Amino acid sequence: MDIEGLTPGPLPSPQDVHTRFRAADHESAYAHVYNAQLGVLTDEARVIQLGVLGYLILVAPDEFVRAEIVLTIISCKNYQALFELGKAFIDFFIRPFKRYNECSIPDLSSDSSRASFNTRQEEIKAQIYQAPQSLQQAKDQALYRDGYRCVVTKAFDFDYSVHAYDKHYADNTELMKSCAIVTHCVQIAPAYTHVEFSINDYSARLVLAVFARFGYNVDKLDGAKVYSLYNVFTLAIALRDYFDALLLWFEATETPNRYQVKHLAEYDYMASRIPAFMTFTTSDPLIPLPDPKLLALHATCAKVANLSGAGRYVDRVQKDSQRLQVLAEDGGSSDVLLHALYRSHSVNGAA
């Protein structure tokens, strides 16, 4: 498995990736991180922390962001500062986007009858130009915009196929070709990224500044704005889990709203249903599509998490948080506590 021609693990030597650098300070900053990693190869945590910094330089979404990362690294006066900066990126960049979901099944109660479903569709149409105030409203509006389909596989939403398909299509040929699945509303930027933590560390504040450079506008997504249509889209449940686990991401192409679908699901049954490219569309130009900057932020996070090993580290912390009943008073479980805090601010329930 490689990502952008890079193999997950310790950083490659500067000589092996010299063609990726556009300025001398980019290469010198990378070499500084690489040399620091050489001295701690037996320390997994340090290797991952430094790997995050190095891979951020290598896979930055554009040169402006790369320059910001390089300046942040150069500001570190010693290796300890580099370790802390790498950890800050894990805590305030990768961890918030590494989400865990519980499975759900479609609602087959009487409230999901054809009549009530069609009534809800009319309500959605009437409110489509109003900003969603909840995850359920976001899902309803995203489904309407996305044609009641998973944007990647194009399979129809289960409820829609059962209750309303024949209202919009003359025959069932297309439905029979694509099948019906349970879909979920995916949030690109997680709702709990705006949690108020006490951040006294200078490097952590720099990470939040880089968030903005990546296109994460905190004010734009504050409060209920996180449910806006530019931050949500419809995915099949299995693909939602891959996206939230940073195992599926979208790479922008030169064509607006067209993306290359990247994933690490080679051995999953869904892999055969994932196309090489997909396009976000809407029949109404007044309805916003997912924000390319937010998708680029997620893609960068996914690549760095998988290349550096930070994704596995956060997975391990998440599992520990489920097993531990009491957190160590000496702070030994501080990573588990931080993960639990993020989890407590996540959106309850699946839509």
How far is the C-alpha of 165 from the C-alpha of 176, rounded, in Å? Answer: 11
Tell me the domain boundaries of the chain.
101-351
Average pLDDT estimate for 191-219: 53
Task: Write down the residue that tokens 């599926």 correspond to.
Answer: 248
Average pLDDT estimate for 198-227: 60
Task: Write down the residue that tokens 């599509």 correspond to.
Answer: 289
Q: What is the pLDDT of residues 109-130, one digit of tens each?
A: 444 455 555 565 556 655 666 6
Q: Which of 305, 330, 327 is nearest to 52 (CA)?
A: 305
| Per-residue model confidence (pLDDT) at position 248 | 95
For the chain, percent of residues with pLDDT exceeding 70: 68
Task: Establish how many alpha carbons lie within 13 A of residue 232's alpha carbon, considering only the half-sphere containing its beta carbon.
Answer: 31
Report phi then psi at 76, rounded to 5.
-75, 125
Average pLDDT estimate for 60-67: 87
With a CB cutoff of 8 Å and minimum separation 6, the contacts of 76 are 82, 85, 203
How far is the C-alpha of 241 from the C-alpha of 330, rounded, in Å? Answer: 34
Q: In DSSP terms, which residues pair with 180 in a beta bridge?
A: 156
Q: Which of 298, 319, 313 is nearest to 242 (CA)?
A: 298
| Per-residue model confidence (pLDDT) at position 91 | 83
Mean pLDDT of the chain: 78
- Is the per-residue pLDDT at 83 higher than 60? yes
Instruction: Give yes or no for a contact between 342 and 193, defined as CB atoms under 8 angstroms apart.
Output: no
Average pLDDT estimate for 201-221: 58
Q: What is the pLDDT of residues 266-321, one digit of tens each?
A: 766 777 789 999 999 998 888 999 999 899 999 999 999 999 999 998 888 777 66
Instruction: Give yes or no for a contact between 145 and 281, defined as CB atoms under 8 angstroms apart.
Output: no
- Is the per-residue pLDDT at 251 higher than 90? yes
CA distances to 9, 48, 53, 100, 224 from 44, rounded to whole Å, are 11, 6, 15, 23, 39
Which residue has better confidence, 119 or 38?
Answer: 38
Average pLDDT estimate for 237-254: 94
- As given in the structure block, the two tokens for residue 89 are 């990126």
- Lowest mean per-residue pLDDT among 25-39, 54-68, 96-110, 221-235: 96-110
The DSSP 8-state label assigned to residue 286 in this structure reads T
Q: What is the pLDDT of residues 166-186, one digit of tens each?
A: 555 545 566 556 677 889 999
